[in-house]
Amino acid sequence: MIQQPLQWIELNAEALKHNITQFKHLLGKKRNMVAMVKANAYGHGMLEIADIAIKSGAEWLGVQSIDEGLILREQGFTCPILSVGYIPLHHLEQAVNKNIRITVYNHQSIEKLGNICRALNKKAFLHLKLETGTYRQGIDEDEIIPFIKKIQQYKGLVIEGISSHFANIEDTTDHSYARDQLYRFQNFLDIIGRYGIKERFKHMACSAAVILFPETYFNMARIGIGMYGLWPSNEVFVSSLLRDRPEFNLKPVLSWKARVAQVKKVPKDAFIGYGCTYRTTRETDLAVIPAGYSDGYSRSLSNISYVLIKGKRAPVRGRIAMNFLMADITDISGVEVEDVVVLLGKDGLDSITADKLASLTGTINYEIIARINPNILRVVV
């Protein structure tokens, strides 16, 4: 391993374990937790997070693509893996071979899977995705019985789970739409139950649902953002305060660090960076930091964010470049080449959160972390 990396991500294993324990406590012993490790574990690093998540008590891993599932299998993960995305028809055989649970909602997938299972004499474990009002993936209510009949034409196809996903549980403190979706889900379950299907797992809840609504738990929940120690939104945080659950808290798992590449003096009235978007108003000490938008540090943060050096805030000056950003260290004494810079996380008494960077650029914490370049070194601490 590189001894002195220029840039790295630290993953706090204790924090991850703490967050998982918090969610498992809410869910209770009998329910299963799917640790969502899609999108490189929300930018954290899929293999590192999957390993700690399973050791911390998550029963399942949730991925988006077949590729993510295959990598987990190659690396020796034997737990159930659920793909919540779309698996292309010509990759379904690999999913069956590696026993990756498949989210289904297309007739074409069923036909292909049925033939694969027949040819290989294997089983495929399916999770039906139901349309309850998100209008992303899902089977409509009037389609569900024909869909199940189609599945039943094939011997190897097992309906293992029934699932849906909330559209409007993070963005609001008005939960009427979420309740309506839950009602529609229950209606689906009635229809399916009356038809005689006995699926093992019913799951609808994401982090926000688990934090706010026990009635969404059924017997499995898919947890992403909360596991990484971030709140799904301010609205969820505010709503949770009314739930009288003072002991529930989350600890951020990820810190993002880099080292100073150069320290320099810049005269008053000088322009910094591409486009000359910042002009110094005084003689300025500047730190050049080898991290930029190709690493996932958004160019939209140009001139508005700050980094932490020696526990103090150093404002970003000028445009963020592909591989560099510059920060004003005039008010921080003694900064030297290769000193540690915190782009995201704690430093001394201060910290920069994903929520902070998100609010500066008009996005959500999910996007801030999910876009961190997977090639940056991950270190579990």
Ligand X SMILES: *Cc1c(COP(=O)(O)O)cnc(C)c1O
Residue 198 to residue 93: CA distance in whole angstroms? 25
Catalytic residue, from 24, 38, 112, 129: name it: 38
Q: Tell me: does residue 230 bind ligand X (CB under 6 A).
A: no
One residue of 49, 178, 206, 253 binding ligand X per CB under 6 A: 206
Q: Tell me: does residue 222 bind ligand X (CB under 6 A).
A: yes
Q: Tell me: does residue 224 bind ligand X (CB under 6 A).
A: yes
Is residue 155 flagged as an active site residue? no
In a 13 Å sphere around the CA of 206, the CA atoms on its Cβ side amount to 20
Angle value at C-alpha 52, between 374 and 377, nearest 5 degrees: 25
Residue 288 to residue 338: CA distance in whole angstroms? 10
Choices 69-77, 105-113, 220-228, 256-264; region in contact with ligand X by CB under 6 A: 220-228
One residue of 138, 232, 273, 345 binding ligand X per CB under 6 A: 232
DSSP states along 52-88: HHHHTT--EEEESSHHHHHHHHHTT--S-EEE-S---
CB atoms within 10 A of CB 309: 21
Q: Show the tokens assigned to 365.
A: 């914490």
CB of 166 to ligand X, least distance (A): 8
CB of 165 to ligand X, least distance (A): 5
One residue of 35, 50, 70, 84 binding ligand X per CB under 6 A: 84
Choices 19-27, 68-76, 216-224, 283-291; region in contact with ligand X by CB under 6 A: 216-224
Buried b (16+ CB within 10 A) or exposed e, 3-42: eeebbbbbbbbebbbbbbebbbebbeeebbbbbbbbbbbb
Choices 110-118, 120-128, 142-150, 205-213; region in contact with ligand X by CB under 6 A: 205-213
CB atoms within 10 A of CB 306: 20
Residue 331 to residue 312: CA distance in whole angstroms? 9
Specify the residue, 170 or 285, whose C-beta has the smaller distance to ligand X. 170
Please report, as residue ranges, which positions from 26 to 45 form the binding site for ligand X (by CB under 6 A): 36, 38
Is residue 86 flagged as an active site residue? no
SS3 state of residue 137: coil
Specify the residue, 114 or 232, whose C-beta has the smaller distance to ligand X. 232
Choices 204-212, 248-256, 281-289, 357-365; region in contact with ligand X by CB under 6 A: 204-212
Q: Tell me: does residue 223 bind ligand X (CB under 6 A).
A: yes
Catalytic residue, from 86, 154, 177, 274: name it: 274
Q: Which of 187, 72, 291 is nearest to 305 (CA)?
A: 291
Q: Tell me: does residue 202 bind ligand X (CB under 6 A).
A: no
CB of 196 to ligand X, least distance (A): 26
Q: Which residues are catalytic?
A: 38, 274
Q: Which residues bind ligand X (CB under 6 A)?
A: 36, 38, 84, 165, 206-208, 222-226, 232
